[in-house]
Copies of this chain bind each other. A is one copy, B any other.
Amino acid sequence: MAMSESRHESIGRALVESDREAWLMWRTESVVMATGYLPCWGLSFCLYPVKNSPILYIPALEPRDQLPSKGFVVREYPWGVLNSADPWGMLFSMIEKDLENLGISTEKVACLRDNSQTSPNTFSGESPAIDTRFLEKIFSTFNPGNEKTDTALKKLFTIKKENEIENIRLANKVAGTGLQVFYEKARPGLSEAQLSGMVEAAIQEEMGKKGVFYSRAWAMVQSGINTIDSGRFSRTTGRIMEEGEPVLIELATCVNGFWSDLTRVTATSELSPEKREIFTVVWEAQQLALKEVKPGKTTGDIDRAARDYIEARGYGKYFTHATGHHTGFRYHDHGPGIVPGGKEVLEPGMVITIEPGIYCPAKKMGCRIEDNVLVTEKGHETLSDFPKGLTMNR
């Protein structure tokens, strides 16, 4: 049912349930979710009314060739124009005037008062230069609301629509070009940083190819003894890879605003049996968790499937993190984690990661295998179909 609702209908329903008539948004993942548009400067605002067309306010310097082609009113505000007197004041007046024309009062305008994780815009790694006082004015003028409103709006991110799923599938396909390079190049003598750079370049090269106007990856490569840290943090270093070592890649890929989050483990050459065993246990635990993914199951069920198995195999205390999380509009998307005792019930349209891991200092091996999985009406579909063996042939 939820999947058959259009994105426009689901936003409208969430706003009505929250007793609001419009939503003012600006964070990258919100704009992507509501409009399909990935901002360049990260300074695009969208006023999304329940009735009438959404209005997209873009800074004067924004590129215009990727803007949504129809269904949106686009207005420009004078940010970035040399000596423009007061771009934020101008933008605020534009929003006020539009609300007046739409007959919507300020207390009927929702906004998410959320300063935590955001996905990046396309321009460098710096967060957008949204004026602090402007945001404070927004929060005090409009109606950030309570926990109930927050929950209703954030819930929207967790159910993906057909075209969004296609975009996440594309992100996973593009990520695969990076994984191909990872398996081919992970050899003794290369540094983690060199391997990471090659993977990221391969993914960036996809830009301009069919349907891909933006493609960027963060490839975090950990090798040998560094893999035992990979359950605590992901970080590429200059370490040179040696013979007989595991190499883990944590790969965040953004294509056109949609995200893939994958982990693979390979070896620089034949691993010892005790290291291979860890790989096998993680691989089997992931299969067991995947089998559980279907509507009606809870996140706790999924986590338990992986965790029980890893515990039974004697590695329980080395599986130190959650089994997964939502992904798609962000690398780590809105929504509850796939954690022990998790109560969220899976629904069709959810896209989650399944990523059990074992990090065993005594065996000098950390291992995690991660895929992105769509919950379907009847079960699930893995959106990341890249092989996940220890080598490409397996």
Closest B residue to A331 by beta carbon equals: B126
Instruction: Identify A215's interface contact among B117, B193, B232, B235, CB under 8 A.
Output: B193
A200 to B199: give the CA distance in the assembly, Å.
Answer: 11
One digit per residue, 1 when the CB lies within 8 angstroms of any chain B CB and 0 when it does not, for chain A 200-218 equals: 1111111111001101101
A83 to B122: give the CA distance in the assembly, Å.
Answer: 34
B129 with A331: CB separation less than 8 A:
no
A200 to B215: give the CA distance in the assembly, Å.
Answer: 14
Q: A126-B332, A229-B63 are in contact. Are A340 and B82 (CB under 8 A)?
A: yes
Instruction: Identify A63's interface contact among B63, B203, B233, B238, CB under 8 A.
Output: B233
Binding site of A, secondary structure by majority: helix, strand, loop or mixed? loop
User: For the complex formed by this chain, how many copies does it contain in all?
Assistant: 2
- Chain A contributes a number of interface residues (CB within 8 A of B) equal to 73
A330 with B126: CB separation less than 8 A:
yes
A62 with B233: CB separation less than 8 A:
yes
- Interface check A125, CB cutoff 8 A: yes
8 Å CB interface, A94-130 against B = 113-120, 122-130
A322 to B81: give the CA distance in the assembly, Å.
Answer: 9
A117 with B128: CB separation less than 8 A:
yes
Residues of B within 8 A of A240 (CB): 208
A238 with B207: CB separation less than 8 A:
yes
Which A residues lie at the B interface, using CB under 8 A? Answer: 40-41, 60-63, 80-83, 113-120, 122-132, 135, 191-194, 196-198, 200-209, 212-213, 215-216, 218, 220, 229, 232-240, 252, 254, 320-322, 330-332, 339-340
